[in-house]
Structure 1
Amino acid sequence: MSGSVDECITRLLALAKRFNCFYLSGFHSSECKPFVVEGYQVGLIRPDVMKELIHFPEVFHVTPGCVELNPAFRDYQERSVKVNEVLKELRKKNTFITLKGWRDECYEVKAEFNTTSLLKMDRSATCLFGIRNYGVTINGYVRHPQQGQCLWFQKRASTKQTWPGKWDNMVSGGLSVGHGILETAHKEAMEEASVPPYLLQNLISTSCVSFFFESERGLFPNTEFVFDLELPVDFVPENADGEVDTFEILPVTKCLEKILSPDFKTTSSPVVLDFLIRHGVVTPENEPNYLSIIEFLHVPLQTVYGRCHNKMKENGISLSNI
């Protein structure tokens, strides 16, 4: 690592804590309440959001123990429509900054990733409910004959609704309704970086990273399905959807400074950090906080909500009497 060892250690661990800021603080407080649908906890809701949902009692039952979607809504379509009506009303009133980035693109809301979806919600609104989001990220790398292993980055367009102008992974995108993991990886690679299909045959699924971030927009319990893609030395990515300003390639030895910069998108740094760990740039030998950092890259988002809901039951709190 460049710079003094102590300085890099402090900065790298601080970064890992920063993209898990909610997991380390707000998650363990009692301020946020479980968001429950059909008896399953699918999210967490902050007090500022609860204060607005109280005005929609026919859709959301706000109680001392949780916020429950009206159980009278019996199927996926009805739940989705009722929630969307509330969100459109809140958007019309400019209640939440995140709804200014309305996408007309929805994410599924599930008890767990591999279970049947309970409803869909516009992606801009999921952070208001602490819904677990899923996405794909592709590490495009090159084995350069002089510079060694190098990694491609993109600079997000200044017109992007979130993190405009920040540096980011070469390719990434959320799993929207109707799209699978590999399908999304291929779609985003072609749209964001014009990666041709024959190169995508080399795409390798390598890992997942998960973290729990919070910003002024809301809560972000995110899981990224990570792919590595070795690219030819002469390949240069080109954007095709207008969402990228430029691309840059860096030797992996300079990538730590890249993700530690305030110009890098905080919630994209976990994937780069994971890549640098897997490829031997960050090791137990040069990073005394190695194990802590590994844990911060794999927050157990598939079970933390379930444990919270089970704890409610163990404490004698049922949805029927709160």
Structure 2
Amino acid sequence: MPLTPFLDSQQSDEIAALLAVASEGSFSAAGRRLQRDPSVVSKRIAAMESRLGVRLVERTTRQLRITQAGAQLVAQLSAAVAAISDAEQEASLGAAEPMGVLRLALPAAMGRMWIAPMLSEFISANRHVSVVADYSDRFVDIIAEGYDAAIRVGELNDNRLIARKLTDHRRILCASPSYLAERGSPSTPADLANHNCLRFSGFASFPEWRLFKAGQQHRALVQGSLTSNDAESLLAAARHGVGILGAGEWLMSRDLEAGRLVRVLPDWLLDGADGGVYLVRPSARFSPATTLAFKDWIETKFAEAPPWPSIAR
């Protein structure tokens, strides 16, 4: 007979008796642990066996042994009890006032341009939290290096982490009006071979540009006068008319809005949808109140729209 969703006192007592016997190895030791007479412990297990229709404990005059069915039930009940304890602890931590140090790993350019201005609001609202923010495009092992959370851009490949998608991530092509006036605007991806392309060396597909449109793909081995691992330096070059830049829309949205840059091959995306922007944190049993506060705060900030100006699809 399966357990009901809500345990009555008899079921709770039976579970406590079985777990105590499995842990202590005898009715007498289990009775001492539960502060009950050994005969009461034995009766509770017998009642549980009768209710479930299966032998859980083999009894002899000298010893007892947990049966295979009993061992399986003990393992499942132990996990359930641990989950209840975890839930209570998580609730307790979440209710506490955030305080202490919050260590964050943030992407360099996006972090400086968009997360840093927002972060001051979080600090102002949480006076007892001290934030240590590391802005870098290197891969950060947040578990090994002791970070509480990180913002990741693109595809995720670490299943040890709890991830929450904050928004989509699109890579697009842009150039300045002056560059396009001088060199012309490409009409197909193949035309990129005749243009000066500003290349970000941090792309997984580097040195290729992989372009996608409605099921079509084109791989272009582009060339250009500037290659860098710093997105903001490439953006500065694009503004000055040096060439065509392929990068995240978040990087170029202000310049597009102001007319300093315009879309190139607007129907094509670079590297497809390319994942998203994610908040990731260690998949530990418990998250400190500071981490939970930051999680709730940044999810709220991104809930309606990302902080950068929207670009027509």
The answer to whether TM tops 0.5 is: no
TM-score range, shorter chain: under 0.3
Q: Structure 2-normalised TM-score?
A: 0.24
TM-score (norm 1): 0.24
